[in-house]
Every structure is written in structure tokens, then in C-alpha cells.
Amino acid sequence: MGDGRGVSMQTSMQTYTDAFAAASASGGSAPAWLTGLRRRAHDEFVATGFPTTRNEDWHFTSVTPIAERTFKTPKVGTGAASVTDALALAAGESGWPRAVFVNGRFDSALSALGALGKDIRVATLPDALTEGPDWVANHLGSLAAFDKQAFTAFNTAFVNDGLVVRVPKNVKAPAPLHIIHVADASAAGCVIHPRLLVVVDANAELAIVESFVSTGSAEYLTNAVAEVRIGEGARVHHYKVQRESAEAFHVGTLQAHQSRGSLFHSFSYATGAALSRTNIYTKLAGEGAEARLNGLYLVDGTQHVDHQTFVEHIAPNCSSRELYKGILDGASHGVFNGKVFVDPEAQKTDGKQTNHALLLSPQARVDTKPQLEIFADDVKCTHGATVGRLDAIALFYMKSRGIGADAARALLTYAFAAEVLETVEIDSLKDALEAIAFQRFTNQVQR
């Protein structure tokens, strides 16, 4: 370890290995496929270790603060969050079906899944294991690769609680499924490994809003993994709202797999955590599939926020559209790394990636790295990135109409965000995210 974190990292690895051994010894009821999966992931995690900045995928994001700490497993039943806390923090409607996890544990008292209707199967991972449907065994761990992905391996080694969702053929979910991960004060010093498996069959449709919120200012690590399998002609919308505590660390990986003619629409909204990394990966494996990946992040202070996308064009005639915007104040640091791979088979690929950052202060900075690997000849792939500041002339124009400096800055900042917020297709969610954003700009400009 060139960065001098070797010793503490070895200690933390040993602790995780011990925790893994303890969990394996106590969790006797798990099916063999799962214990095998955990074991392989554990071994991979130990062999790979946390990534360093020499790893190309982590070049601009040092996870040393995560690697040098040793996070504990949260104690069961310590969560004291109330449903009002959770709902107030999470941007969604109270009538939506919801699954609430407190410090990584499903909380049945806070959850209400009835509104999802009887066609859609939804269960916690432990319940699903008891029932033992094949589809869970077949799909869990089948998409989110944990070789060379240390955080996914870390999650998989400790996979325990979580949610599994199956939308059968031709079924349209009547309302968005809201998954709320709440971390409260007792999460301090802990690592939480949320896990989500979504299987949406042919021509079915599901929208998921996954909120990560915190009722306090605890320092903890959320290390989430979601796997989303999208059948032929199916449509899946995934909204991630990351509002972790200001001291928290957050790593979240979503891996989607798209069949012919399917749509995957992802929106990542990030305002929280001291250090966060969101991975949105999708494989366009069937002809005519479409991926729309969008995101907005707003950070200040010394926050570090990183998004990595990976769009694998495997089949012909697929399209991918990416638009990510970041607003950075204080001495915050934003990273965007957009990878696009086009297989020789994936002719007529139409890919577009756009990334814009707005720097509100001289100390804020952003690193952008588009990576296009194109092995087919008949494709259209573009990428564009800009880093800008508020337009001084536009500010003056607004002031010359009587609009105060703070309001003018807030309005221009909001205008910058508006384009990407428009991609949120759930109106109430869009309004809520707009309100959170607006509030944040106003706070920022008042400083």
C-alpha cells in the first residue's frame, strides 16, 4: 500500500474476516447456494481488498477513510426511527407501498406493502429464503459481479437482509415501490449492506424509489447492491435518492440487465454523505433496448461525490442516453466517470453521454472522465462535458431587474438543475427533489 494505510487496513480486513466467520457459524439455516455465494464473495473481498487510487475505476476517489476504519455489524433491533421520521426524510408519497429498513434491518411495523397489489411478489430476503423460490436462488448474485468489485464482494459476503421483488409478465405496478433505508444514531460506526433484487418479466413495468436517509449525524458506511433484471419489452424506473448523514460514507452499485426492447431508466440524486460513490451499470443485451441514465448531485463543504456509469452495448440497435449534472459549493469535489462499451455485435448503437458541472465557489472542483470503447463500426456515440460557473452577465441582468444577489444566484443555479430534474417522471417526486434542491441553493447562497 503506497498510501500508508496498510496496517490499519489489514486490521480491518481481519475484523471483517472474523465477523464473516462468526456470521457463518451462527447463520446455520441458510441454503447451500447462499453460503457458497457468501464464501466466494468473502474470499474475493479479502483477496482484492479495498481499491486504491491506482485502480483506474477509483482514480479520483480515495476510499482510504473507509479502508482505514473498521465498521461493525449493527446490533439487531436498535433502530428507533419512527415512520414519520422516515417518511419526512424520504421524498415520496405516503400512499406508496413502502419497505423500510432501519440500520439495514427490515422493519415490518414501518413498512406497508399492500398497495403493490397481489400480482407482484415482494418479500424480504430472509422470508424469500424460507419460502425458497428458485428465481431468488437463480438471480441473486447473478448480475452484480464481485470479482474485482471489492464493495460488491463486501456486500455479498455479508448479504443477509434485503428485498426481493418480482413483477410477472404484463403486470404494471400500480404505484412506485418506495424502499427507504434509514440510518439512525445507533448506526454510528457500523456498516450496512442493503441488498435488492428486482426481476421484471416481459412487458411488465415497475418504478422504484430507493431513498437513503439518516435521522442523525452518525458516521457509518452504507454499501448497497441492487440487481435489476429486465425482461423483453419491460420497463423499469429506478430513482435513487441519497441523503445520508453528513458524516456517512456511501457506496451503492446497481447492475441492470436488459432484454430485447426493454427500458431501464435510472435517476440518481445525491446530496448527502461525506464521501459517496454511486455505480450505475447496465448491460443492453437484447436488440432495441434503451437505457436512460440521469443524475443530479448537490454538494458543499468537503463532500466528495462520485458517479460511475457503465453502459455495455452487447446487442444491435440499442440506445443509451446519459445526462448528469453536479452543483458544487465550498471545497467539495465531484467525479463523473462514464464508460460506454460497444461490442462488435452491437451495430447501430446510439449512445450519448453528457455531463455538466456548475462550480459555485473557487475551491470546488470536478473531475470528469468519459471512456468510450467502441468495437463496432456502424455506431453513433458522443460524449460531452462542461464545467462552468454562474454566468456573471446573467446575474447582472437579473440584478438590474431588482432581483437580489442571493435570489439571482439561486435562480440561475436552479435553472441549471431544471433540465435534469425534468427527467424525473413522477411529478410528486420531482417536486420534492426540486424543493430539496432549492432549499439547498438558498442555504448555499446565504453563506
Q: Closest CB to other proteins among 32 and 392? A: 392
Is 21 or 394 the residue whose CB approaches other proteins more closely?
Answer: 394
Please, which residue, 375 or 396, has the CB nearer to other proteins? 396
**If binding means CB under 8 A, how many residues of this protein chain bind other proteins?**
22
Interaction of residue 26 with other proteins, rule CB under 8 A: no
C-alpha cell at 406: 442571493
Within residues 372-401, the interface with other proteins by CB under 8 A covers: 392-394, 396-401
CB of 281 to other proteins, least distance (A): 30
Residue 7 lies near other proteins (rule: CB under 8 A): no
Nearer of residues 31 and 404 to other proteins, judged by Cβ: 404
Give yes or no for a contact between 309 and 293, defined as CB atoms under 8 angstroms apart. Answer: yes
Nearer to other proteins, 136 or 417 (CB): 417
Question: Between 118 and 401, whose beta carbon lies closer to other proteins?
Answer: 401
Q: Least distance to other proteins from the beta carbon of 399, Å?
A: 4
| Cell numbers representing residue 256 in the block | 441492470
Separation CA 39–CA 159 (nearest Å): 11
Binding mask 317-356 for other proteins (x = CB under 8 A): ----------------------------------------
Least CB distance to other proteins at residue 396 (A):
6
- Interhelix angle 405-421/427-446, rounded to 10 degrees, is 150
Residues 6+ apart with CB under 8 A from 48: 147, 148, 150, 153
Nearer to other proteins, 293 or 408 (CB): 408
For the four alpha carbons of 128, 133, 135 and 140, in that order, the dihedral sign comes to positive
Cβ contact 358:341 at 8 Å: no
405: contact with other proteins by CB under 8 A: yes
Binding test (CB under 8 A) with other proteins, winner from 119, 419, 425, 434: 419
Query: Which residue in 47, 76, 418, 435 binds other proteins (CB under 8 A)?
Result: 418
Contact window for other proteins (CB under 8 A) among 158-166, 317-325, 376-384, 402-410 = 402-410
Exactly one of 415, 435, 439, 443 binds other proteins (CB under 8 A); that residue is 415
Terminus-to-terminus CA distance in the chain, angstroms?
40
434 binds other proteins (CB under 8 A): no
Task: Give the residue with the Cβ less far from other proteins, 77 or 404.
Answer: 404
Q: Which stretch binds other proteins (CB under 8 A): 182-190, 307-315, 412-420, 429-437?
A: 412-420
Distance CA 25, CA 23 (A): 5
CB of 232 to other proteins, least distance (A): 37
CB of 418 to other proteins, least distance (A): 4
Among 30, 113, 403, 436, binds other proteins (CB under 8 A): 403
- Which of 336, 280, 212, 274 has the alpha carbon at shortest distance from 63? 274
Q: How far apart are CA 406 and CA 443, in angstroms?
A: 10
Provide, rounded to whole angstroms, the least separation between the CB of residue 325 and other proteins: 11
- Comparing CB distances to other proteins, the nearer of 25 and 393 is 393
C-beta of 278: minimal distance to other proteins in Å?
A: 24
Asked if 408 interacts with other proteins (CB under 8 A), we say yes
- For residue 165, CA distances in Å to 51, 229, 239, 334 come to 31, 10, 16, 33
Out of 192, 293, 314, 412, the residue judged to bind other proteins by CB under 8 A:
412
416 binds other proteins (CB under 8 A): yes
Q: Which of 404, 435, 439, 443 binds other proteins (CB under 8 A)?
A: 404
> Among 89-97, 160-168, 245-253, 414-422, which window interacts with other proteins (CB under 8 A)?
414-422
User: For the stretch 228-241, what's the b/e string if a residue is b when 16 or more beta carbons lie within 10 angstroms of its beta carbon?
Assistant: bbbbbbbbbbbbbb
When asked if residue 435 is in the footprint of other proteins (CB under 8 A), the reply is no
Q: Which is nearer to other proteins, 80 or 418 (CB)?
A: 418
Q: Please give the residue ranges that form the binding site for other proteins (CB under 8 A).
A: 392-394, 396-405, 407-408, 411-412, 414-416, 418-419
